[in-house]
Structure 1
Amino acid sequence: MTFTTLDNVDHAELRVAVRAGAAFGDHANLLPIFPIEFEEAQRELPIVFRRGEDGGIRAYVLLGLDRGENLFLDGDRWTTRFVPAIQRRGPFALTRGDDGETVVQIDPDDPRVGAADGLPLFRDHGGDAPYLEHVRAALDLLAAGAQSERAIHADFETAGLLRGVTLRIDLGDAGGYELTDLLTIDQAALAGLSGATLERLHANGLLRAATMAAASLGNMERLIELKTLREAA
C-alpha cells in the first residue's frame, strides 16, 4: 500500500468507487469506532469494548458472530445507514505536510481508484466534490477520535462503568455462540452514578456517550435475527 498526495490538478478527472468487501476490510465481525460515533452507531449496531495487549480499551461495533462475518453487508454495500469512519474513508489517508497542515493522500493501487463507476473527487470548476467532502469528514473524525478515545475509555473504567461479559447466544437448532473477552457498559453502575463522578461525566459529555453505548445492546436482537436468517438460507 503506497499513498500519494491528492492533487486537484493531477487528479482532476479521477473517480473512486464506493464499494465494500473483504479486500477492503469490511468482512469483520468487529470494527473499531470512536466515542464521537456512538450516537449514530447505537441506532443500528451493538457497541462493545475490548482491552488490547497494551491495556488500552477500544470501542467496537459488533457485526457478526463468526470471525470475518459482517451480517450488515449485502454484496458490496452496507445495509446500515451508519458505516464506521474507518471504512467510510475508503482508499484515503490523512497526513501532515511540511507546513503542518493536514493533507489527504490516496492509494492509487486500490482497485476502487479509477473505477469506471466511481464518483468524482473534484468539481468541474474546482473545489471538492461531495464524495471527497464525505471522505475528508471521515478522516477528520478518525484523527480527532484517535487523540481522545484512550482518555474517554479510561474515564469509563475509572467510573466503574465497564464490566467484563461473555455474550451467550442461542440459535436453537443452528447451535450457539459464546463471545468472550468483551466489555460493555454496566447498566446498574450507570444508573447508580452520583456526586462528583456523575457531575464530571455529565459536564464532559461522557455520560451521554455511556448511555448510548449501553442502549446499543438492544440491537443484539437484530443481529441474531440476521444470523438466524443466514443460517436458514
Structure 2
Amino acid sequence: MSTISKNLADLRKNYTAGQLSENDVPADPVVLFETWFLQASQAQCPEPNAMVLATADASGTPSARVVLLKGISQGNFCFFTNYASQKGQELENRPHAALLFHWHELERQVRINGIVSKLTAAESDDYFFQRPPASRIGAWASPQSREIESRAFLEQEELRFKEQFGENPPRPAQWGGYRLKPEKIEFWQGRPSRLHDRILFTKTQEVWRVSRLAP
C-alpha cells in the first residue's frame, strides 16, 4: 500500500453535529431544503449554493461538475450555463440529472434527482442582466467545453466582445438557464459510528412519500 493510500485509509471523522428524524420533517422537502440552506448560509459554509451537477451522455456515461444554484422557483432548482457545453448537450439528449450539496461544517448532504428543462428566454434574460458586465462578456468569450489553442484565445475574445458590446452586452442565444423538477430528494445527516440519518422523499403523482434509508 502506498503512503498516500495508507493515509487515506487512516482518515476518519466522527459525526456529531446533529440528527434527523422522519417524524419531524415537513411534508414538502423543498421547505426542509430551504431551512438547511439558510442554516448553511448562517454557519458561513463556503459557497453554500455550490452543487455537483451530474449528467449522462447518449451511451449512459456519466459526468459531473460543480455549478451554482441560482434560484428555487415553484419547487424547482435553477442554474445557468452555456447550452452548447458538454452538460448542455447531455441535458439536450437526456433531460435527467442529479444534484449534490455538501455542507461540511454541518455534516450534511442533500441529493436531488429529477427532470431538467430550459427556463424561458425572459427568465434567462432576467438573471443574465443581474450579472456583472465582465461575467456577461465571459459568456460571449468562452466557447464552453470546446478545445481551444491557448489562454490567449480567450483573452483575445474577451477584448473583441468588450469592443463590440461595451458595458452592456446582451445575452448570447447559446447561454441560459435550466430548472430541475425534483422526483427524489434525500437528506443526509452525519451521525456517530457511521450510523447516519438518511431521509428520502419520493414523489408519486405529485405527492411526496417519506422513508428512511439505512446508512
Do both share a fold (TM > 0.5)?
no
TM range (shorter): under 0.3
TM-score if structure 2 supplies the norm length? Answer: 0.24
TM-score if structure 1 supplies the norm length? Answer: 0.23
Instruction: Considering fraction of residues, name the structure with more strand.
Output: 2
Instruction: Considering fraction of residues, name the structure with more helix.
Output: 1
